[in-house]
């Protein structure tokens, strides 16, 4: 762990040294050229950049809102599917456990013996 911190510290110092050298070189180059002397603000982050960003913020916010809505809908649907899957898994596991233990049969109910009914006497109808 100490080697990680040592490597991190050396990297941070090297990065600071590179930034210091780059800013010193830029300051030296800025004094030599008179090309940018009359520009009050930079072209990259000036008024025009802020205007372009303000025009782009509304569609970007809309896209972020749409993406957020779609992701939340996807999350709700996924959670619903996960819930149904968990319920089915619990039912399946309980069914497997229930089938692995044989259920005892209930004792037979005693039934009183009843003799069969006598045969019916046939009715014979003669000449009506």
Does residue 88 carry a pLDDT above 90? yes
- Residue 103: pLDDT band (50, 70, 90) is confident
| Selected residue with higher pLDDT from 102 and 70 | 70
Residue 20 clears pLDDT 90, i.e. is over it: no
Domain residue ranges of the chain, discontinuous segments joined by +: 9-44, 57-102
What span, in angstroms and rounded, lies between the C-alpha atoms of 87 and 93? 10
Q: pLDDT per residue over 1-16, tens digit each?
A: 677 777 877 887 777 7
Instruction: Share the mean pLDDT of the chain.
Output: 79
Q: Is the pTM of this model over 0.75?
A: no
How far apart, in whole angstroms, are the C-alpha atoms of residue 26 and residue 36? 13
Please state, in angstroms and rounded to a whole number, the distance separating the CA atoms of residues 44 and 52: 11
pLDDT for 74: 95
Share of the chain above pLDDT 90, in %: 26
Say yes or no to pLDDT of 44 above 70.
no
pLDDT at 122: 74
Spatial distance between the Cα atoms of 31 and 11, rounded to a whole number of angstroms? 31
Report the pLDDT value the prediction gives residue 40, as an integer from 0 to 100.
57
Q: What is the pLDDT of residues 23-42, one digit of tens each?
A: 776 666 555 455 555 555 55
Distance CA 119, CA 128 (A): 26
């Amino acid at each position: 762990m100490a080697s990680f911190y040592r490597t991190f510290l050396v990297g941070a110092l090297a990065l600071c040294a590179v930034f210091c050298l780059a800013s010193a070189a830029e300051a030296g180059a800025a004094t030599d050229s008179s090309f940018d002397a009359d520009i009050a603000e930079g072209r990259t982050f000036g008024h025009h950049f802020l205007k372009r960003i303000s025009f782009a913020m509304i569609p970007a916010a809309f896209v972020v809102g749409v993406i957020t809505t779609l992701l939340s809908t996807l999350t709700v649907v996924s959670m619903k599917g996960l819930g149904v899957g968990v319920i089915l898994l619990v039912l399946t596991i309980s069914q497997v456990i229930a089938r692995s233990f044989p259920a005892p049969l209930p004792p037979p109910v005693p039934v009183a013996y009843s003799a069969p009914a006598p045969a019916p006497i046939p009715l014979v109808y003669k000449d009506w």
